[in-house]
Structure 1
Amino acid sequence: MRISTVTMFEQSVSSMNRQQGDFMKVGQQIATGRRVVNPSDDPQAASRAVGVSQSQAVTQQHMDARVSARNALSQSESVLNSVSDAIASGKTLLVQAASDTLSDADRQSVASELRGIYETLIGQANATDGNGRYLFGGYKDDSPPFIRNGDGNIEYIGDENIRAQRIDASRLMPVADNGAKIFQSVAIGAGYLAEAGQFDVDGNRTGGNAGSVTFKGPQVTDPADPDFGETYTLTFDEDGDGNPTFEVTASDGSVAADGAYAPGQPIAFGGLSLTLEGTPEAGDTLRIGQAEEMNTDLFRSFEKALAVLENPATTPAGKAELRNSLNTVMREFDNGLDNVLTVRASVGARLNELDVVDAVGGNRMMNYEQTLSDLVDLDYAEAISEYSLRQVGLQAAQKAFVDIKGLSLFDYLR
């Protein structure tokens, strides 16, 4: 068989190109640090690597979301800490104002300090996250959630929902509580409250009593009583001789207790006990109910305290109004503080949960990185050995081409 010079040249060039291609491929792997540079290098590994990379990207998104959630919750926790301090300071002032040694001028000074706390509390309720988003407005976070209405009272206009953020594939975490839950609610099991005054059919207070009756309690004596949990109204009247009497009626109109009024004598009804002092007038009333059925608005509690402190208490009825109102507001402050602390504890629990989810997410990311490395990363020791081998092969092909190129019949012609 005759082999032409052209065939020898073509085979030599083809061998050099193949050797050079293999040599450059290994060089590219070393330069990039990846065994699979192109999908054709290992189609199965490349396909699996795409799936792992997508999972890695989703995990990274959740990690970024947890950073955002942690910032929002940390800011909420800081504000709630300030709110709880404000409520505690407000109650301290009310305890001071309830002292009989204070004059009206002294109580005016206490009211001035309490108003400062009140305005601070409104500012905290309208706190932002530093990016212009209001913390306690729910999903309506582009405007202040609390405003003063036409009557001068604080009104919540935010969203009733709780803003949430997905921090993991299976966890949608609330990252901000709405203001109604924090400032206009009480914790479950807050107990009973009593309030003296005149009330409309909806239970809203419309005025004070004419007499000088003050109350202590109510105290829970029998939670197993079948009527426990009802809302009651205690009304004073007079018998035929002008002696004061009382009647306690439940919300359905049934009479729970009645009889002659005796100062200092406890009145029992519906698993509760209420002790009264002072002299009532016919028509004076007290409303007794569970905390969630009474005033749950923390701002209204401040307003009630300010109203009674800023008015002189010179008459027996005025002094009774002062004592009763302060007693009621102090209990409302206690309930409000318990509620804020409950929400704050929930925020703290979510921050702890973020730490746990972060640890799990970090381990998951490490597993993805290890899997991705096993699929596409380069074994440098093996690659360098392969690189040296391909270099020798290329040099051998080049040397063979040089030797073959020198073979010609013309060299033997004389």
Structure 2
Amino acid sequence: MRVSTVTMFEQSVSSMNRQQNDFMKVGQQIASGRRVVNPSDDPQAASRAVGVAQSKAVTQQHMDARVSARNSLSQEESILNSVSDAIASAKTLMIQASSDTLSDVDRESIASELRGIYETVIGQANATDGNGRYLFGGYQDNSPPYVREADGSVSYVGDDNVREQRIDSSRLMPVTDNGNKIFASVPSGAKYITEMGDNQGSVIVGGPTVVDSSDPGYGQQYRIEFSGDGEDATYTVETFDTATQQWVALDPAGDYQDVDYVAGEQIRFGGLSLTLDGTAADGDSFTLGRATEMEPNLFKTFENALAVLEQPAETPQQKAALRNTLNTSMRELDNSLDNVLTVRASVGARLNEIDVVDSVGGNRMLNYEQTLSDLVDLDYAEAISEYSLRQVGLQAAQRAFVDIQGMSLFDRL
């Protein structure tokens, strides 16, 4: 078989191109630091790398979401800490205001300080996060959740929803709490509280205190209603019938129907004990119920306390109203403080959970990075050795082409 000069040239050029292509490929791998530069380099590894890269990107998104969630929860925890301190300070002032030695001027001074605390709590309830969204308005986070009405009271205009954020593929976490849960709720085990009607007498309620929580009537709502004035006064204990939505006598033919009122006596019913003292007037009434059933509202508690502290307490009726209102307000503050601390504990638990999920996510991210490295990253020692080998091969191909190019029969003549 005769080998033509053209064939030798073509084979030499093809060998040179092949060696140069291999040499450039290794150089590209070294420059990029990746073994798989193009999918054709290792189709199986490239395919697996795409899936791992997608999982890594999702994990990174969850990590970013946890940063945002941690910021929101940390800010809420800080605000709840301030609110709990404010409630404790308010109760201290009310205890001070309950002293019989204070004058009206002294109580007005205490009311001024209490109003400052009240305004502080309102400001905290309308706090925003770093993005200008209101924390405690639920989904209504573009406007203040608490607004003042024409009569000066504070109303909640947010909703009962809770903003959530996905911090992991299997965890959707609440990152805020709505205002009703914080400022208008109490724990399920909250104490009994007393609300008085538009009374004209000077009866003061001491208690109620729980003496037997196993009593069949414990947990129900009760009302004490007076008939007659002064020494002729009698009282009837009623309970609220949830079926008919009406007040009915607790024991129509027994010990709680038209009972002669004796100042200072102790009454027991429904597992409760309370003391009535002072002068009763016809039509006076007191309602007793679990705090969970008495429409709890921290702002209403402040408003009721301020209303009596800013008014003179000269007559027996005014002094009784002052004492009863402050006693009820202090119980409500205790319940509100317990509720705020419960919510704060929930926030702390969520922050701890984020730390745990963050640790797991960090380990997962390291695993993904290691897997990607095993699939597509370059072994530099092997690559440099291959680079040197390809360089020698290219030089040899070039040298062979030069030698073949110079060959001629005329050299043999």
Common topology (TM > 0.5): yes
Partner of 2:200: 210
Describe the SS at the equivalent of 1:144: coil
Q: Is 2:248 the partner of 1:254?
A: yes
Equivalents in 2 of 1:356, 1:280: separation in Å? 61
Aligned equivalents of 1:221, 1:387: Cα separation in 2: 89
CA distances 1:313-334 after superposition (whole Å, capped 9, x unpaired): 0001111110000000000111
For the residues of structure 2 that align with 1:286 and 1:177, how far apart are their CA atoms?
A: 34
Aligned to 2:368: 368
The runs of 4+ residues in structure 1 deviating greater than 3 Å are none
Name stretches of at least 5 consecutive residues in structure 1 with no aligned partner: 199-206
Instruction: Classify the secondary structure of the residue corresponding to 1:54.
Output: helix
Stretch moving more, 43-52 or 261-270: 261-270
What per-residue deviation string (whole Å, max 9, x for no partner) do you get for residues 231-277 of structure 1? 111011239x9522111100123322232222222111111111111
**Partner residue in 2 for 1:58:** 58
Distance 1:101 1:223 in 2: 36
Is it true that 1:232 corresponds to 2:222 in the alignment?
yes
Q: How does 1:107-256 map to 2 (within 5 A)?
A: 107-196=107-196, 198=197, 207=198, 209-238=199-228, 243-252=232-241, 253-256=247-250
For residue 32 of structure 1, report the CA deviation from its aligned partner. 0.7
Residues 1:311 and 2:311 are matched in the alignment: yes
Shift of 1:362: 0.1
CA contact (8 A) 2:231 2:261 kept: no
Which residue in the other structure is 2:244 paired with?
A: none
For normalisation by structure 1, the TM-score amounts to: 0.95
**Aligned partner of residue 276 in structure 2, secondary structure:** strand
Secondary structure in 2 aligned to 1:176?
Answer: coil
1:295, 1:61 → 2: CA distance?
Answer: 42
Q: Which deviates the most, 67-76 or 214-223?
A: 214-223
Provide the identity percentage.
72
Q: Following superposition of structure 1 onto structure 2, how do residues 371-410 of structure 1 map, counting pairs within 5 Å?
A: 371-410=371-410
Aligned Cα root-mean-square deviation (Å): 1.3
Structure-to-structure mapping, 1:1-16, within 5 angstroms: 1-16=1-16
C-alpha distance in 1 between matches for 2:178 and 2:231: 52
Q: Distance in 2 between matches of 1:73 and 1:392?
A: 63
Contact residue 221 and residue 289 of structure 2 kept, 8 A: yes
Match of 2:84 in 1: 84
Q: How far apart are 1:227 and its partner, in Å? A: 1.7
Whole-angstrom CA distance in 2 between matches of 1:107 and 1:344:
32
Deviation per CA, 1:348-400: give whole Å up to 9, x if none: 11111100000000000000000000000011111111111111111111111
Give the letter for the 1:237 counterpart: S
Q: Distance in 2 between matches of 1:149 and 1:312?
A: 25
SS at match of 2:175: strand
Structure 2 distance, partners of 1:320, 1:156, is 31
Is contact 2:191-2:331 (8 Å) kept? no
Deviation at 1:159, TM superposition (A): 2.0
Normalized against structure 2, the TM-score is what? 0.95
Q: Is the 8 A contact 2:224 2:235 kept in 1?
A: yes
In structure 1, C-alpha distance between the alignment counterparts of 2:159 and 2:327, rounded to whole Å: 33
Aligned residue number for residue 23 of structure 1: 23
Partner of 1:203: none
Partner of 1:357: 357
Deviations 1:130-160 (Å, cap 9, x if unpaired)? 3211011111111000001233211111121
Distance 1:53 1:179 in 2: 41
